[in-house]
Amino acid sequence: MSLPPQRAELFYTGKAKQVFRTSDPDVYWIHFTDGATAFNGVKRATIRDKGEVNARISAHIFERVAAAGVPTHLLGAPSPVDHLVHRVDIIPVEVVVRNLAAGSICKRLGLEEGTALPRPMVEFFYKSDELNDPLITDEHALMFGWAEAWELAYLRHASLKVNQVLRAFWDELGVTLVDFKLEFGRAMARERRGQILLADEITPDGSRLWEKGTGRHLDKDVFRRDLGDLGDTYRELFARIFGEQLHGG
Ligand SMILES: Nc1ncnc2c1ncn2[C@@H]1O[C@H](COP(=O)(O)OP(=O)(O)OP(=O)(O)O)[C@@H](O)[C@H]1O
Ligand SMILES: [Mg+2]
């Protein structure tokens, strides 16, 4: 039996996670930190327990999504704040799925926040911090070689499938899934070459979650808009999902 991959050198420090290489060249180790940023890094804070809540929620959701037939990068969780994942070549097209209008689409199109959409909507954004992740069309992605046509078709299809799974999941917990962001990548390992995997994370950092009935925000908008204590909000979300307090506290 082979040993599980061991953590090796730090490879990338992002705004919310650190990525390490491992003893297996096709496997990365992702460490979820307590760092919070908003407005592309302009607003920053450290939020106790955020890394753990995000890592555990993301792992839980990725397992459900995989069970529904959308392959993900997740291999396992060596600790409550770490994921072992298949190394991928991240496709620089971020996918946002919307069920209600909120955030950037409201500004862009003059919609009132909370406007119901007749059906789930998929938007593509170019993953570029320098450019503030601009909205793009298929044409841009194809023209500049960010993704191929079949990949864009897959991203749309898989994202809508993930939306179905997530909507049912949050619905049962009394939460409306307003929107969320996904990243996908191309698997690097020889035996998986060409396969597209759902990567990165699915967390309340990259989702809008509104409590049914009250409309209370249970996501990173609490931090973006100073609506309360993000740590308390995330711990409450954890308890809602797992039926127990984080750290039994
Ligand atoms: N399986 C994977 N293989 C390779 N890279 C990955 C994988 N999953 C996620 N990543 C990348 O690892 C990084 C995670 O760090 P984090 O989310 O903190 O970055 P970030 O500050 O949001 O910056 P970025 O703009 O690069 O996303 C991201 O760049 C993400 O795209
Ligand atoms: Mg990120």
Q: Is the CB of 98 under 6 A from ligand 1?
A: no
Residues 73, 95 within the same domain = no
Which residue type is seen at 59?
A
Instruction: Please check whether residue 248 lies inside any domain of the structure.
Output: no
Task: Please enumerate, as own/partner, the contacts of 244-247 that have beta carbons within 8 Å and a separation of 24 or more.
Answer: 246/49, 246/52, 246/53
Is residue 59 a contact partner of residue 82, using CB atoms and an 8 Å limit? no
Instruction: Please check whether residue 246 lies inside any domain of the structure.
Output: no
Closest among 248, 247, 235, 249 to 57, alpha carbons compared: 235
Closest ligand relative to 35 C-alpha: 1
Residues 64, 75 within the same domain = yes
Residues 93, 199 within the same domain = yes
Q: Choose one of 87, 118, 138: the last residue of a domain.
A: 87
pTM of the model: 0.97
Q: Choose one of 30, 65, 87: the last residue of a domain.
A: 87
User: What pLDDT shows up at residue 214?
Assistant: 97
Task: Tell me how far the alpha carbon of residue 147 is from its chain's centroid.
Answer: 19
Instruction: Please check whether residue 237 lies inside any domain of the structure.
Output: no
User: What pLDDT shows up at residue 246?
Assistant: 96
Q: Is the CB of 185 under 6 A from ligand 1?
A: yes
Closest among 191, 154, 180, 171 to 70, alpha carbons compared: 154
pLDDT digits (tens, 9 = 90+) for 132-161: 999 999 999 999 999 999 999 999 999 999
Residues 93, 80 within the same domain = no
Burial of 62 by CB count in 10 Å (0-12 exposed, 13-18 middle, 19+ buried)?
buried
How many domains in the chain?
Answer: 2
- CA 25, CA 27: separation in Å to the nearest integer? 6
Residues 109, 73 within the same domain = no
Residues 97, 62 within the same domain = no
Quick one: which atom of ligand 1 is closest to the CA of 88?
A: 3
Could you tell which of 10, 17, 93, 186 is best to mutate to test the pocket of ligand 1, judged by most ligand atoms within 8 Å of the CB? 17
- CA 90, CA 128: separation in Å to the nearest integer? 12
Instruction: Please check whether residue 239 lies inside any domain of the structure.
Output: no
- Residue of 206 and 41 predicted with greater confidence: 206
120 pLDDT more than 90: yes
Instruction: Please check whether residue 242 lies inside any domain of the structure.
Output: no
Protein residue with least CA distance to atom 30, ligand 1: 200
Residues 96, 81 within the same domain = no
How confident is residue 242, by pLDDT bands cut at 50, 70 and 90?
very high
Burial of 96 by CB count in 10 Å (0-12 exposed, 13-18 middle, 19+ buried)?
buried
Residues 32, 155 within the same domain = no
pLDDT digits (tens, 9 = 90+) for 166-186: 999 999 999 999 999 999 999
CATH of the domain at 19: 3.30.200.20
CATH of the domain at 198: 3.30.470.20
User: Under 8 Å CB-to-CB from 50, ≥6 apart: which residues?
Assistant: 32, 33, 34, 35, 36, 230, 231, 234
- Structural domain span for residue 40: 7-87
Closest ligand relative to 90 C-alpha: 1
Instruction: Please check whether residue 249 lies inside any domain of the structure.
Output: no
- Per DSSP, the residues of the chain read -PPPPPEEEEEEE-SSEEEEEESSTTEEEEEE-SEEEETTTTEEEE-TTHHHHHHHHHHHHHHHHHHTT--BSEEEEEETTEEEEE-EEE-SEEEEEEEE--THHHHHHTPPTTPEEEEEEEEEEE--TTTT--EE-HHHHHHTTSS-HHHHHHHHHHHHHHHHHHHHHHHHTTEEEEEEEEEEEEE-SGGGTT-EEEES--STTSEEEEETTT--B-STHHHHTT-S-HHHHHHHHHHHHHSS-GGG-
pLDDT digits (tens, 9 = 90+) for 41-79: 999 999 999 999 999 999 999 999 999 999 999 999 999
